[in-house]
Structure 1
Amino acid sequence: MSTSAIEPVSFTLYQKDFAGFAQALGASFERYGFAVLSDYDLDQDRIDAAISDAKAFFALPVDIKKQYAGIKGGARGYIPFGVETAKGATHHDLKEFWHMGRDLPPGHRFRATMADNVWPAEIPAFKHDVSWFYNALDTMGGKVLEAIAVYLKLDRSFFKPTIENGNSVLRLLHYPPIPVDATGVRAGAHGDINTITLLMGAEEGGLELLDRNGEWLPINPPPGCIVINIGDMLERLTNHVLPSTIHRVQNPPPERRHIPRYSTPFFLHFASDYEIKTLPGCISAANPDRYPESITADEFLQQRLREIKLA
């Protein structure tokens, strides 16, 4: 088997064979909870610029980085090493990260649940480059959801209003070199809270998903791919037709423990007041409704953030 368990789907199909694109992505999501997208149409130079800015920030002294910590329970700015802990885990994850969210105009109804962004003054291009990256992945996520809608036999634009001004977050992740005596792993086994996650930077090994047969499968795609997975909110909406699969980032082998790992997951969220109510087309005699009571996206988010010690 190759170093990645999932065959990529080419984004070129989005324009030339959308039905085939939707079928290939949807089938991968239904089987694994994950899909890999190749041949994306994002500007690689601009992606590289945003990641370079992130690396420059993480290289700053800890006391400077911590000036940007503690904003809205970690929803914005810097989250120091040793804070986030996977649900049920004993040891914290071996990572630090930065969060950027959506900019909202004054008086917007979601401002109570979505804080303003902060920007590191030490990296002048950070705001410009990272904001572009956020918006590019936000747009790409909308296109992936079009395919998911068609796969679920919904109108292609079904998800468009559900994610308008959604509480989506771009996470710039740094996994430092791992000391010999480290406890824990880079990211403990977990499911994502949100609707879908778009991840860049998975070429550096370690990402694995827990398959339905109990086997851990590697996801190490070639460069130039986006790894996408279903989050808990979409699993709930689809009554588990599309599963939110448990995944982790394992520590590297000894010969690579000195190499840091950088990745950039974009957690695409529904709008805060969107009512997550089981889709009728995902309910059947063989798959009865697991969630007869609905919940708003923000209620669901806050419940889960408390579980992983970020709220």
Structure 2
Amino acid sequence: MTTISADRDHVASVSLATAAHDPQDFATRLGQSFERHGFAIVADHGIDADVIARADAAARAFFALPDAVKRQYHLPGTGGARGYTPFGLETAKDATQSDLKEFWHVGRALPAGHAFAPYMPANPWPAEVMDFHASQIALFDAFDATGGRLLAAIAHYLGIDAGWMADSVRDGNSVLRLLHYPPVSPDAPGIRAGAHEDINTITLLLGAEEAGLELLTRDGQWLAVKPKPGELVVNVGDMLQRLTNNVLRSTTHRVRNPATERRGFSRYSMPFFLHFRPDFLIETLPGCMSAERPDHYPQPITANDYLTQRLREIKLL
């Protein structure tokens, strides 16, 4: 497989601001991009630049801490659901080498006694970075709100009730991931993030301006995803692909090691993995089945069971 240049094909940018006055046009552009690429680039997403900058600064401050300090926040046996996951631990499905990254997970904070508490442990917070807690919660909430707007557009595109779609993710097991890819040597083995698909419903990604993110096209070539500064990269996850019977595609993607002149630099990004409720039954939508498109997933599965299955595959459980 080879890499193709963005001038032969590309992921177009769509403006979320247009959804307010022309929801049909935005939904169509977003949905068609998801059908073709499994990815879309979203401009005017509404996440405040100051909220992003604060969270980014706090994340970088944490990753700059000594390794021994960071490892105090690693919680073995949790599937990396919360806190710190050290460098080289996560491995893409079916890969033999671990990814060249470390990350921190912030999950949804639930009130005491909530029915989903068994699925969502409390968040640890690093005492060494004063603004970490407040800044990451603010970014989580902003991502969650924008994700809801995008799901409404997806519901519009699929011709299903937006309220039903919103309920499918209400108090869902969503996760904000703060990612650090350290500098790599010229002969570094592996890849910053091996070829994989995302497990969840949709992923919203900030910080992809640094080159490296690529998606695998239908004809087996790697296409660079190139958002402009501040734009959001959004991609379909396996749960949504399953719900829509492959109408919306969960596309294989990776983060390549950088070009030689950029190997001495770290790469930081902040993906938000929007998830269904743990008890949501992922069952093929009737409108996504036909004689030409039979049901590829006749056996329904809850979102939590599916998540557990996939975490085992990537060696986090």
Q: TM-score range by the shorter chain?
A: over 0.9
2:38 is aligned with 1:59: no
Structure 1 runs of 4+ with >2 Å offset: 1-4
Write the distance in 2 (CA, Å) between the matches of 1:294 and 1:156: 21
- Give the corresponding residue for 1:177: 183
- Give the corresponding residue for 2:49: 44
Unaligned runs of 5+ in 1: none
2:262 maps to which of 256, 271, 274 = 256
2:138 maps to which of 122, 132, 144 = 132
Unaligned runs of 5+ in 2: none
Write the distance in 2 (CA, Å) between the matches of 1:189 and 1:291: 23
- Alignment check: 8 A CA contact 1:146 1:158 kept: no
- Give the corresponding residue for 1:110: 116
- Give the corresponding residue for 1:157: 163
Write the distance in 2 (CA, Å) between the matches of 1:200 and 1:190: 18
CA drift at 1:73: 2.6
Write the distance in 2 (CA, Å) between the matches of 1:2 and 1:292: 37
SS in 1 for 2:72: helix
> Following superposition of structure 1 onto structure 2, how do residues 64-143 of structure 1 map, counting pairs within 5 Å?
64-70=69-75, 72-143=78-149
> Following superposition of structure 1 onto structure 2, how do residues 189-204 of structure 1 map, counting pairs within 5 Å?
189-204=195-210
Letter in 2 for 1:40: H
Q: Which is worse superposed, 66-75 or 273-282? A: 66-75
- Give the corresponding residue for 1:15: 20
Per the normalisation by structure 2, the TM-score is 0.96
Per the normalisation by structure 1, the TM-score is 0.98
Letter in 2 for 1:15: A
- 1:32-89: CA deviations, max 9, x gaps? 1001101222210121010000000000000000000025231000000010000111
Letter in 2 for 1:7: A
Write the distance in 2 (CA, Å) between the matches of 1:52 and 1:195: 27
> Following superposition of structure 1 onto structure 2, how do residues 286-305 of structure 1 map, counting pairs within 5 Å?
286-305=292-311
CA 1:2 to 1:217, structure 2 compared with 1: closer, same or farther past 3 Å?
closer
CA drift at 1:181: 3.1
- Give the corresponding residue for 2:32: 27
Between the two proteins, the alignment pairs up a number of residues equal to 311
CA drift at 1:90: 1.1
Letter in 2 for 1:50: A
Q: Which is worse superposed, 279-288 or 34-43? A: 34-43
- Alignment check: 8 A CA contact 1:99 1:172 kept: yes
Letter in 2 for 1:173: L
Letter in 2 for 1:66: R
- Alignment check: 8 A CA contact 2:120 2:173 kept: yes
SS in 1 for 2:119: coil
CA drift at 1:108: 1.1
- Alignment check: 8 A CA contact 1:40 1:224 kept: no
- 1:207-231: CA deviations, max 9, x gaps? 0000111111000211011000000
- Give the corresponding residue for 1:147: 153
Write the distance in 1 (CA, Å) between the matches of 2:206 and 2:241: 22
